[in-house]
Amino acid sequence: MLLGALAALAAGCGGAGGDARLTVFAAASLAEALPAFEPDATYQLGGSASLATQIREGAAADVFAAASVEHARALREEGLVEEPRVFATNRLAVIVPSVSELASVADLARPGVKLVVGAEGVPVGDYARAALAALGASDVLDNVVSEEDDVGGIVAKVVLGEADAGIVYVTNVAPAGAAVRVLELPPAAQPAIEYAVAVVTDSDSREAAEAFVDRLLGPEGRAALEAAGFGLP
């Protein structure tokens, strides 16, 4: 009987039923925008790379929305998702606690500044390194005290005031509220950040998944993404 209950739980999670909600694996930076666009889907939010790993290991996803085209393209090459489509763009922002004395990006290189960035291989971390390299300020990386696995970890440590600064997406700034302030990154240092969405090949609800992607690329999706601070392709 207990085993039966377990089997029922497993089936429920797999979303096998006909009227099952769509399961969307989405980059953590989409945590506000996507549920605002489509509240009736189940969202699994995390680092794009770890979501890709979960899909590789057979997680039951219908749609994959990644913070980099690269991660979606890699799954495409393995035949795990359909052709990815760019649906949003983003920019980087340096956030500091609102009470911080840091006034510009150049101050990040001051000795003793506690900087938190994404780890290498995590999109927000790779973009941050590219931006610092473009500024000729890679020595700022000596001040890194933690390399986080997703953007949520970076925001949390700055909001709590434990870190002096973090490099995140512009779209993370508004949800963090009054606890943080933004230091402007020169436009020339901004890397091209493109988000890609793809239908998962093994999805049990292909039609609903395709409809979701089409709507996301259409006027409704564009309005929701813009409201959340994303750029549009």
Partner 1 sequence: MSRRFDAVLVAACALALAFLALPLAAVFLRVSPVELFAQLGNPAAVDALLVSLKTSLIASGLVLCVGTPAAYLLATRRFRGRAVALTLIELPLVLPPAVAGIALLAAFGRRGLLGGTLDALGVSIPFTQAAVVLAVVLVASPFYLRAAIAAFESVDTGLLEASRTLGASPARTFRRVALPLAAPGLGAGATLAFARGLGEFGATIMFAGSLQGRTQTLPLMIYAQLDRDFDVALAVGALLVLVSLAVLLAVKLLPSWTRFTSISPSRSAPSTSL
Cβ-based nearer residue to partner 1, 49 or 168: 49
Q: What totals of helices (H) and strands (E) does the chain contain, helices first?
A: 9, 10
The secondary structure of 102-153 as a DSSP string is: --SGGGGGSTT--EEEEPTTSHHHHHHHHHHHHTT-GGGGGGEEEEESSHHH
Question: Half-sphere exposure of residue 219, counting CA atoms within 13 Å on the CB side?
Answer: 0
CB of 53 to partner 1, least distance (A): 5
Nearest distance, CB of residue 161 and partner 1, angstroms: 5
For residue 150, the minimal CB distance to partner 1 (Å) is 9
Least gap, CB of 121 to partner 1 (angstroms): 4
Q: CB-wise, 91 or 157, nearer to partner 1?
A: 157
Compute φ and ψ for 122, nearest 5 degrees: -95, 130
Binding site for partner 1 (CB under 8 A): 47, 49-50, 53, 56-57, 114, 116, 119-122, 144-149, 153, 156-157, 160-163
Is 67 or 105 the residue whose CB approaches partner 1 more closely?
67
- Beta pairing, strands 115-118 & 144-148: parallel
Nearest approach in angstroms of CB 57 to partner 1 is 8
Q: Which is nearer to partner 1, 113 or 225 (CB)?
A: 113
- The structure tokens listed for 5 are 């209950």
* Closer CB to partner 1, 152 or 191, in the complex: 152
206: tokens are 């292909």
